[in-house]
Amino acid sequence: MSGRQRSAMAGLAVAIMGVGVVGASVRGDSVLQLVPLFSAGALFVIAGLVAAGRRPESVSGRLLSATGLAWLGAQTLLVIPNALAATVALALLPLSLAFLAHLSLAFPNGLASRAERVIVAVPYALVVVAIPVLDLGDCTDCARNVFGIDTDRGFGRIWYATVMLAATGTALSFLTVLVRRWRRGSVAARRVLLPVVPGACLFVVVYVSALLSELGLPTGVGTRGALVALVLLGLAPVVFLGGLLRARLARGHVGRLVVELGDVSPGGALREALARALGDPTVEVAYWLAERSGYVDGQGQAMSLPSGDGHRSVTLIERSGKPVGALIHDPALRDDPAHVDAVCAAAGLALENERLHAEVLARLEEVRASRARIVEAGDAARKRVERNLHDGAQQRLVSLSLAIGMARSKLGTGAMSDAEDLLGQASQDATCAIKELRELARGLHPAMLSEVGLVAAVQSVAERSPVPVEVHASTNGPLSDSVEATAYYVVAESLTNVAKYARASSVQVRIEHCGDRLRVEVADDGTGGAEIRPGSGLEGLADRVAVLEGHLEVHSSPGAGTRIRADLSCG
């Protein structure tokens, strides 16, 4: 509710009470008897206006005010000696109860499910259905209900009993929902519901008993029960407002939090302090890492935010307009987002520190992992070279050596033709060994790179690609060996992947200087779907690029081709 709406509502309440006072004076009734009735209604309206001022987005304030206005309206209309006014008053009284019932389920954050939305509609419907059977009891000079029917016999009696039983059933279903909500509630949720649920339950019990005694059942609830119900009703605005204000009182914790944060050292103490300040022992903190576009925990381990399935809620934390992280907490804390924001603001600096700490840990973890992977990749590469040497060139040379030995003994025995065959085979083995050694050497280090430079080496690897490659490469001045080699491997590995997986029809290779950085990009028009998987060639490339304070990006949506971009520092 806006400020203007709140003023209008306050004005309306005052006007209604004014009319009531004037009406009572005109009739010659004592105005004093209106004081307790108007006080109860005014209390609802005031509580509603305070609640709406504090929580404009919450429906609770509007429902509290509506309850009060309906009640005040009924009391004023009852003063007016007119049958229609009395009839409206008769309808407004149960309507105020319907508002209150709605509030009991909507408190503090609105209705949670479709079923609850259906249940809260029932009392409103019942009010309409009940209009013909409402009366003011056994008073002779009371104004009559213009739609009233005789409820003492026949159809009227059945209608009356049906309405009473329906009201009983509805009240009991509200009780069930409230009890279930309490039983399923977390610690934080129960803290919020504490002022409301027990009172509402007691009221339902008394109300149901009163309804049943109306039907003539011996429930033992007489005037005393009605008194209890009235007292509970009178307390309702205080209870609801108290529930809403509790959170404000809880802000005392924020001050303590600020003091506690003075001693917080990285590693979990901040989470403990936040859990205490928010009153939610399950609270978790996730820190935002911009470079990863993802969240990590306090230990720097990657984590994802819950999907908001109702079991956990997420509040994003910002500081100076930049994301710092997120609180993952009990949904009950949504009751007072301002309190959560206040706690986050108070913890802002500590959160930022903790975020930096988590970022350092995450980087350290990344460096550790990439260091281990680089060592493993080196070992694997050496193993591959040994295996290739053993299976390839070495076997050829063994054959060569054996063939020469055998040829020599053939020569000794004069079997010239056999010796010639053996030497022919030896020559073939030697040719194969040379070819295999050449390929192996090329795999160890691209000789072209040191002899003719990056651009020519990239052009050479592009020429060998089975997919047509367009190369746009230029460098300003000499590059360090490591930058040249890394840029070369980005192109070579990417082109190998294109040939193996992409089913592309063309590839663009672009190498250019951007300030003191070298940008290497390989883009194809293939099937896409590439990503940096653990143990993949792309992961090896990413590690190699990271060593040069660079960054490897893979853009590869299925069907939209693959673009590998490495950004290397030349400094």
Partner 1 sequence: MTLTAVIVDDHGGFRAMACQMLEDAGFEVVGEAFDGAGAVEKVAALQPDLVLLDVQLPDIDGFTVAADLSRTSPGAVVVLTSVRNADDYGQARVAATPIRRFIAKAELSGATLAELAAGTQ
Angle at 558 between CA 554 and CA 560, to 5 degrees: 75
Task: Kindly report the number of other CB atoms within 10 A of residue 537's CB atom.
Answer: 17
Residue carrying the six token digits 């944060």 = 261
Tell me, rounded to whole angstroms, the distance of Cα 503 from its chain centroid. 38
435 binds partner 1 (CB under 8 A): no
Q: How far apart are CA 25 and CA 328, in angstroms?
A: 59
Burial of 147 (0-12, 13-18, 19+ CB in 10 A): middle
The CB-of-428 to partner 1 minimum distance in angstroms stands at: 10
Among 399, 465, 508, 527, binds partner 1 (CB under 8 A): 399
Which tokens sit at 112?
Answer: 């949670």
CB–CB of 68/78 below 8 Å? no
Which residues are paired to 247 by β-bridges?
Answer: none
142 binds partner 1 (CB under 8 A): no
The CB-of-439 to partner 1 minimum distance in angstroms stands at: 18
394 binds partner 1 (CB under 8 A): yes
List C-alpha distances in Å: 100 to 44, 93, 128, 136, 236: 10, 11, 16, 21, 9
Residues numbered 224 to 243 that lie near partner 1 (CB under 8 A) are none
The CB-of-514 to partner 1 minimum distance in angstroms stands at: 50
Among 180, 256, 384, 390, binds partner 1 (CB under 8 A): 390
Q: How far apart are CA 534 and CA 370, in angstroms?
A: 11
CB–CB of 321/304 below 8 Å? no
Which residues are paired to 510 by β-bridges?
Answer: 472, 521
**Which CB, 409 or 482, lies closer to partner 1?**
409
409 binds partner 1 (CB under 8 A): yes
Nearest to 467 by CA among 498, 494, 490: 498
The CB-of-391 to partner 1 minimum distance in angstroms stands at: 8
> Binding mask 87-126 vs partner 1 (x if CB under 8 A, - otherwise)?
----------------------------------------
Among 212, 305, 345, 397, binds partner 1 (CB under 8 A): 397
398 binds partner 1 (CB under 8 A): yes
**Which CB, 421 or 567, lies closer to partner 1?**
421
402 binds partner 1 (CB under 8 A): yes
Q: How far apart are CA 77 and CA 491, in angstroms?
A: 86
Q: How far apart are CA 75 and CA 88, in angstroms?
A: 10
395 binds partner 1 (CB under 8 A): yes
**Which CB, 396 or 565, lies closer to partner 1?**
396
Q: How many residues bind partner 1 (CB under 8 A)?
A: 14
**Which CB, 57 or 391, lies closer to partner 1?**
391
The answer to whether the bond into 94 is cis (omega within 30° of 0) is no
Residue 514 three-state SS: strand
Stretch that binds partner 1, among 48-56, 258-266, 396-404, 448-456 (CB under 8 A): 396-404
Among 406, 448, 471, 547, binds partner 1 (CB under 8 A): 406
**Which CB, 336 or 429, lies closer to partner 1?**
429
The CB-of-430 to partner 1 minimum distance in angstroms stands at: 14
Task: Kindly report the number of other CB atoms within 10 A of residue 49's CB atom.
Answer: 23
**Which CB, 299 or 395, lies closer to partner 1?**
395
Q: How far apart are CA 316 and CA 323, in angstroms?
A: 7
Nearest to 66 by CA among 52, 80, 85: 52
CB–CB of 538/497 below 8 Å? yes
Task: Kindly report the number of other CB atoms within 10 A of residue 478's CB atom.
Answer: 11
**Which CB, 299 or 399, lies closer to partner 1?**
399
Among 7, 113, 401, 496, binds partner 1 (CB under 8 A): 401
388 binds partner 1 (CB under 8 A): no
The CB-of-452 to partner 1 minimum distance in angstroms stands at: 35
φ, ψ of residue 110 to 5 degrees: the values are: 90, 180
**Which CB, 394 or 465, lies closer to partner 1?**
394
Stretch that binds partner 1, among 188-196, 249-257, 388-396, 516-524 (CB under 8 A): 388-396
**Which CB, 122 or 432, lies closer to partner 1?**
432
**Which CB, 213 or 394, lies closer to partner 1?**
394
**Which CB, 365 or 418, lies closer to partner 1?**
418
The CB-of-431 to partner 1 minimum distance in angstroms stands at: 14
φ, ψ of residue 316 to 5 degrees: the values are: -80, 140
The CB-of-394 to partner 1 minimum distance in angstroms stands at: 5
Angle between helical axes of 59-79 and 34-54 (0-180°, round to 10): 160
**Which CB, 29 or 391, lies closer to partner 1?**
391
- Residues forming contacts to partner 1 in the complex (CB under 8 A) are 390-391, 394-395, 397-399, 401-403, 405-406, 409-410
